[in-house]
A and B are shown apart, each in its own frame.
Chain A
Amino acid sequence: QVQLQESGPGLVKPSETLSLTCTVSGGSISRYYWNWIRQTPGKGLEWIGHIYDSGSPNYTPSLKSRVTISVDTSKNQFSLKLNSVTAADTAVYYCARADTVTTRYAFDFWGQGTMVTVSS
């Protein structure tokens, strides 16, 4: 069974960089899209971006200037970096897998989520 686990600091200071890693176990990181999503009470579920295997990432336009998603296939991990954070970036951050073949790119496996608070 595929499992995803987010890890990283739960508290980030304003203007600094939020860094999270998602570790994938029970399956290969190859041939899937790997996504980051965040959730806030006010804005609901917001897709941040994805990366396919070790290809080029794709980001949501509103965050594109601040986001970097990368993948380390040797470690079965992918990562999120969001720089110049503000309080508006406080959210629960999820990583999720999207299958390109069988589920119309739906997010079939999710991490449990990690709460990140931006505060000094």
Chain B
Amino acid sequence: DIQMTQSPASLSASVGDRVTITCRASQNIGDYLNWYQQKPGKAPKLLIYGASTLQSGVPSRFSGSESGTDFTLIINNLQPEDFATYYCQQTFMTPRTFGQGTKVEF
């Protein structure tokens, strides 16, 4: 299985901050890397697919990038509704695997 290692597990931030979350794949996954946002009691929501393509309707303050097997999610100008848990996921091969999540807290 491809292991997805996400860091940090949690972070404290304030409205207006720039937040960076990283995800490392245990092997090459090309750009088959997706980012999801999950709020308590809700299903995950797709933010970014293909490492850097914003899903329709997602604000442009979210962005993604890749460098080899390292992937980054950046949230610029953090908004109150962005406090949530973020997960990376690889869809390069089965079994699909997720990172352990990063909780963005106030």
**A residues engaging B (CB < 8 A)?**
35, 44-47, 50, 58-61, 94, 96, 98, 103-108, 110-113
Number of interface residues of B (CB under 8 A): 25
User: What 1/0 flags go to B59-103 for Cβ under 8 Å of A?
Assistant: 000000000000000000000000000010101001111111100
Given A44-B98, A61-B1, A113 and B43 touching (CB < 8 A)? Answer: yes
Q: Decide: A106 and B91 in contact? CB cutoff 8 A.
A: yes
Q: Which residues of B contact A60 (CB under 8 A)?
A: 94-95
A38 to chain B, nearest CB (A): 11
Considering only CB atoms, which chain A residue lies closest to B29 in the complex?
Answer: A104
CA distance A94 to B36 in the complex (A): 14
Considering only CB atoms, which chain B residue lies closest to A110 in the complex?
Answer: B43
6 A/B residue pairs, CB under 8 Å, sorted by A: A35-B96, A44-B99, A45-B101, A46-B98, A103-B53, A106-B50
B95 to chain A, nearest CB (A): 4
B69 to chain A, nearest CB (A): 16
Identify which of A58, A104, A110 gathers the most chain B CB atoms within 10 Å of its CB.
A104
A72 to chain B, nearest CB (A): 22
B91 to chain A, nearest CB (A): 4
Q: Decide: A104 and B98 in contact? CB cutoff 8 A.
A: no
CA distance A103 to B33 in the complex (A): 10
Q: Decide: A105 and B43 in contact? CB cutoff 8 A.
A: no
Q: Decide: A104 and B31 in contact? CB cutoff 8 A.
A: yes
CA distance A47 to B31 in the complex (A): 19
Given A45-B44, A111-B43, A113-B43, A104 and B101 touching (CB < 8 A)? Answer: no
Q: Decide: B43 and A104 in contact? CB cutoff 8 A.
A: no
The 8 closest A-B pairs by CB, nearest first: A105-B91, A106-B49, A110-B43, A60-B95, A106-B34, A47-B96, A45-B98, A103-B49
